[in-house]
Amino acid sequence: MPLPSLFLPRAARALLLAACALAGAADAADVVHVEPSRFAPIWVTEDHGERCIAFGQENTGAHQTCMDLGRPQAMVFNYTRMMMGSLYLQPQPGRILIVGLGGGTLPTALAAVLPEAEIDTVEIDPAMVRVAERWFGFRQGPRQRVHVADGRRYVEDAAREGRRYDLVMLDAYDTDYIPHHLMTREFLRQVQAILRPGGVLAANTFTGSEMYDRESVTYAEVFGDFFNLRANNRVILAVNGGPLPDEAALRRNAQALAPRLEPYAIDVERELARFSRDRDWRRDAAVLAD
């Protein structure tokens, strides 16, 4: 199921309603911007010292990105801290791919923590790029590049052209959940093809998703064992073609990175405690396929 596209009249009506809310509704005083998009309007809100992103036909309060205005580096969401836990498996990735930009929390942090790394981020919606740059401090540069494209198409092109990455992060959502074409066995095999041997995959999903069992068996079929980190969201961490590192290796890498991660509100001990190898899903669930 591809990302939903909206007919322009419907999107225009939604943006008109948003503008009315900005102009006159007292309970919408925290909406500071609504960015037009051919997919769904992107709402930027501020409340209790946090600036957040939501997208959809109205501001429902479900946020995809939040930034602490007093501590812009500090990660607000558990899932971003768990995604950064991929560095405990691969502490020196030279080339990184992120599918899904949001406000740019992950690529911005990775560029600071790993100044020599080359980071490619794929984002389907140019409106999201504009929001990330204007409202969340995201900046492109020689080693920090955004490609406006469908994530699957980009991965398939990269595999065909022989491009390889040390770390791939999957963090793409539409207004409901992860688009189906970014969840299937066939897609994950393409992701595997662009990972170098020993490269790491990090995927952000939901702990309470109805797809939990099917997602799990699909990732397990392609990558074998993986770490299952859970705190509101669920983050899958897998290694391409090799065993998962043991606890000693995780701790050694985490402690070496701790000073660089501290500004992002990442506590090494708390994050290491989330690493689980338990297979807490139905093994007979159907694999997700195209």
pTM for the full model? 0.89
In Å, how far from its chain's centre is CA 27?
30
List Cβ neighbours of 42 (8 Å cut-off, separation of 6 or more): 34, 35, 53, 54, 55, 125, 127, 128, 131
Q: Is the pLDDT of residue 288 over 90?
A: yes
Q: Are residues 28 and 110 in the same domain?
A: no
Q: Are residues 240 and 267 in the same domain?
A: yes
Q: Is 213 a catalytic residue?
A: no
From the number of C-beta atoms within 10 Å of its C-beta (0-12, 13-18, 19+), residue 17 rates as middle
Report the alpha-carbon distance of residue 40 to residue 7 in Å, rounded.
10
Q: Are residues 115 and 231 in the same domain?
A: yes
Tell me phi and psi for residue 265, to 5 degrees. 60, 35
Report the alpha-carbon distance of residue 286 to residue 290 in Å, rounded.
12
Q: Are residues 59 and 92 in the same domain?
A: no
pLDDT band at residue 174, thresholds of 50, 70 and 90? confident
Stretch 172-176: mean pLDDT, rounded? 82
Stretch 128-140: mean pLDDT, rounded? 98
Q: Are residues 85 and 32 in the same domain?
A: no
Domain count, the chain: 2
Domain holding 176: CATH number? Answer: 3.40.50.150
Q: Are residues 34 and 165 in the same domain?
A: no
In Å, how far from its chain's centre is CA 188?
15
Catalytic residue among 171, 267, 278, 284: 171
Q: Could you tell me if residue 193 is inside a domain?
A: yes
Q: Are residues 45 and 149 in the same domain?
A: no
Q: What pLDDT does residue 59 have? A: 60
Strand-pair partners of 119:
96, 144
List Cβ neighbours of 33 (8 Å cut-off, separation of 6 or more): 43, 44, 131, 134, 135
Q: Are residues 197 and 62 in the same domain?
A: no
> Residue 195: how many CB atoms within 10 A of its CB?
22
Q: Is the pLDDT of residue 158 over 70?
A: yes
**In angstroms, what CA-CA distances link 76 with 15, 49, 68?**
28, 11, 7
Among 79, 143, 78, which Cα is nearest to 108's?
143
β strands within the chain, DSSP E: 31-35, 42-47, 50-55, 65-68, 95-99, 118-123, 144-148, 165-170, 195-206, 227-231, 233-239
Domain that holds residue 23: 8-68
Q: What pLDDT does residue 153 have? A: 98
Q: What pLDDT does residue 55 have? A: 82
What amino acid occupies position 178?
Answer: I
pLDDT band at residue 60, thresholds of 50, 70 and 90? low
